[in-house]
Structure 1
Amino acid sequence: MSQSKFPKLLDYNSLKQELGTSHSEYTLSPDATDYNNAAIEAEPPQNTGLTGSRLRSYAFAVLTRKEFSKAELIEKIETYAANREEVINLVNELSEQNYQSDQRVAEIVLSSQKRKGKGPQRIKLALKNKKINSDLIQDELKEIDWAEQAYQLKIKKFGYAVEKDAKLKAKQIRFLQYRGFDMDAIMKAINQKEFED
């Protein structure tokens, strides 16, 4: 293959001389590049910014994939929007029309965390991370028998035996505390005997 088919991108000799004589200067001279005599400049990406019906369509597309809290939805949409004010108005409208619901998200979080063996403190923390007020599911949290939940988790991890050894008891307490259970529920769980109601 002949060399003439490929444009010469860098003149290595002039680059060597330039960098060899002056280490403080790392810019190439205009004749050091020979690619149509044009310097390629990196342009910052332009934010086209969605507005109107395109922004609304994007919001619906986001909500069809999964439930988002109001705060999460605003954060997700505003990265592609031209105007934050428009995003906030759109999310408020979607919330009023029940396309977006913090109540639904709170119930999903409660169900998911409970299934994973988390206690009320961890559930409240998960809601706080999603910027949802835990008051939305206060009644549901009160209806759950947390001592029973803690007991089932204790059985799964440590078995039915009620520990007499202080170190092993402390280990069970730490485990259940980490899972987000209150001390009252923990003490009932670790002291409950098998077949005891």
Structure 2
Amino acid sequence: MIEQHHLNIKIVNQRQTKHGDFRRLPNGQFQITINNNLNPHQFLLTLVHEIAHHVTFQKYGRVQPHGKEWKRTFQHLMLPFLHPDIYPTEILTPLAHYLKNPKASTDSDVKLSLALKGNKAETGKSFIFEVPLDSIFLFKKKRYRRGSKRKTRYECLELSSGRIYLFNQNTEVTIYEKQ
């Protein structure tokens, strides 16, 4: 697909808000960037996601970035990869469910996100759902107290401001231990 569509692929340092992106460069060429911290399953899914943006642009011109045209294109491009030789069963099932109506970010699908991470948080971190109620945790250098779960997200109190924030279930945080 990379050769077929004449894409420049660039591996970049981890970004907090996205796994990859697609853009047209000033010289008219197209570039996809992908974070360097992704495992092979996340990498492939992100690569196909971004190639779907390119194919959608070539076929339809400027449309909604994650609209119906992109969704159909992404689903079509992912079909050959929905195979147990490529994705293990523990990822394949949530991936197939996600692809019924793909969102802009795989992280918005908690089951898929956790499966892609092997249901393990980064070393030294915990998923927010693993943090006990009323415990203090760190996220982006700020301290929070974990509150109750709403429908899908956790209500957490940011201690210095007193403001309430909502955290996705798969957010990775560090449990706070006093020094």
The structure with more radius of gyration: 1
Q: Which has the higher helix share?
A: 1
Please indicate, yes or no, whether the TM-score normalized by the shorter chain is above 0.5.
no
- Tell me: higher relative CO, structure 1 or 2? Use CA pairs within 8 A at least 6 residues apart: 1
TM-score when scaled to structure 1? 0.27
